[in-house]
Amino acid sequence: MPHPAPTPRTIHRSGPLTGRVSVPGDKSISHRALMLSALAVGTSRIEGLLEGEDVLATAAAMRQMGAEITRDEDGVWHVHGVGVGGLMQPAQALEMGNSGTSTRLLMGLIASHAITATLTGDASLSARPMARVIEPLSQMGADITASPGGRLPLMVRGMNPAVPISYTLPVASAQVKSAILLAGLNTPGITRVIEPVATRDHSERMLAGFGADLTVEQTAEGRVISLVGEAELKPQHIVVPGDPSSAAFLVVAATIVPGSDILVTNVGLNPTRAGIFTALRLMGADITEQDARTVGGEPVADLRVRHAPLHAIEVPPELAPSMIDEYPVLFVAAACATGRTVARGAHELRVKESDRIAAMVAALGAIGVATEEFDDGLAITGSGGAPLPGGGTIASLLDHRIAMSLAVAAMVCAGPVTIDDVAPVATSYPIFFATLDTLKETTELAAS
């Protein structure tokens, strides 16, 4: 899939951010809500679904495999499922765009159905390795033919009945775990995943909510998730909370831009996803939770964030699984702190939409921030709250989180910062720049 023409954007230093905003629905939960609704018998209702390109790729794929998916004018989605085992042969390749989550989870779904599907993606996704998913799914009987290096495009020939396995994750990966569990739904017997390091648990929560026979046990080996196959899923009414990964950009922006005071509403605070807020608080960020509640089985709160001076820390490596997508914007916060922040234990950043460690070294260097690169992270020497030099041009590398992170950094740069392509932001947060503009306009209105 060719990437559209680049959309460059130049960003200037910002005044205070104020006001109340919400963030789009959680991307991880949105993907899973569509997939499991498509496997339920009956019609599920989904509110708050993230309508970014990644999630829309999942919706398109599930339609190709037989699910009826519609959207009301008020933004509510309805999914009439085909039942576990009922996926149909897609008539053409499943186009995944930039979505690694769609790709890996759909590989799991297809692996235990008697269908064959080809998955393709854009240049960024086609460079990402899929071997870590291919290995366990092949053990279950799927025949997967990938491009050199275990990359897209690839073809999955599902096996039915598939073979249940007990698989210990060699690296912490919620996507690999979820792919195996989704394959296990249509596999007779008990499929087990052992994760020595706990990862985000949206799949387990949602599978249980749809009626799957699933248990989670903490053992000496780690966290053991067991799923009884040939499941019968029941349709659900799902309310998707706001995405903490999207909220993180606004939280860091308000933290580093002097005079800021914002409220970000309806933020999902699943403890397997909220590591970024823990790390920021360790650095001195002023983040207060208001109206804590549970929505759709997920903990949610409104976050009030006020500007605060930050100090350097050694980021606890055990936080990595709960904030792996948020490291780029954490690096931006560290660039504004006093002292040298060290973040290690984040090997997974090397195989995201881009090599996010190398990408952030280049991007921060272009705006005058000193870094030291490690195999598994970065050390960043902060400005002590002074404006960053800025004035550079950033390569987003087709990575939405790199583009958004540097947009936040540009807000405290003395010179304007140009990002070569912000189009990838649409994959996860289509209204990101409009939201930032709203927070700036609120301040201007208050001052007028």
pLDDT in tens, 354-373: 899 999 999 999 999 999 99
Lowest mean pLDDT among 58-62, 225-229, 269-273, 381-385: 269-273
Candidates 94, 45, 46; CA nearest to 66 is 94
How large a percentage of the chain has pLDDT more than 70?
98
Average pLDDT over residues 63-70: 98
Model pTM score: 0.88
Task: Write out the binding residues for 3-phosphoshikimate.
Answer: 27-28, 32, 173, 175, 325, 352
Give per-residue pLDDT as tens, 174-193: 999 999 999 999 999 999 99
Q: Please state the φ and ψ torsions of residue 194, each to the nearest 5 degrees.
A: -110, 120
Lowest mean pLDDT among 4-13, 51-60, 148-157: 4-13
301 bridge partner residues: 267
Alpha helices, DSSP H only, in 293-399? 327-335, 356-366
- For the cut 80, the answer to whether the pLDDT of residue 348 exceeds it is yes
- 441: pLDDT confidence band, cut at 50, 70 and 90? confident
Task: Write out the binding residues for phosphoenolpyruvate.
Answer: 27, 100, 128, 175, 356, 401
What is the pLDDT of the chain when averaged over all its residues? 95
Task: Write out the binding residues.
Answer: 27-28, 32, 100, 128, 173, 175, 325, 352, 356, 401
- Domain 27-239 class in CATH: alpha beta
The pLDDT value recorded for residue 45 is 98
The pLDDT value recorded for residue 382 is 98
The pLDDT value recorded for residue 448 is 41
- Residue type at 16 in one-letter notation: P
Q: Is 161 helix (H, G, I), strand (E, B) or coil?
A: coil
Average pLDDT over residues 253-275: 96
**Cα–Cα dist 131/147, whole Å:** 11
Query: Would you identify the CATH topology of the domain 9-25+241-447?
Result: UDP-n-acetylglucosamine1-carboxyvinyl-transferase; Chain (3.65.10)
Written as six digits, the tokens of 379 are 């050390």
- 376: pLDDT confidence band, cut at 50, 70 and 90? very high
The pLDDT value recorded for residue 75 is 95
Catalytic residue among 54, 325, 399, 421: 325
Give per-residue pLDDT as tens, 114-129: 999 999 999 889 998 8
The pLDDT value recorded for residue 307 is 98
Sheet holding 222-228: strands in order across?
Answer: 166-168, 190-195, 222-228, 214-219
- 144: pLDDT confidence band, cut at 50, 70 and 90? very high
Sequence-distant (6+) residues with CB within 8 A of 445 are none
- For the cut 60, the answer to whether the pLDDT of residue 112 exceeds it is yes
The pLDDT value recorded for residue 321 is 87
Give per-residue pLDDT as tens, 225-251: 999 999 999 999 999 999 999 999 999
- For the cut 60, the answer to whether the pLDDT of residue 252 exceeds it is yes
**Cα–Cα dist 55/102, whole Å:** 8
Average pLDDT over residues 434-439: 95
The pLDDT value recorded for residue 124 is 86
The DSSP call for residue 142 is -
Domain locations in the chain as residue ranges = 9-25+241-447, 27-239
Examine the residue annotation and report whether 325 is marked as an active-site residue of this protein: yes
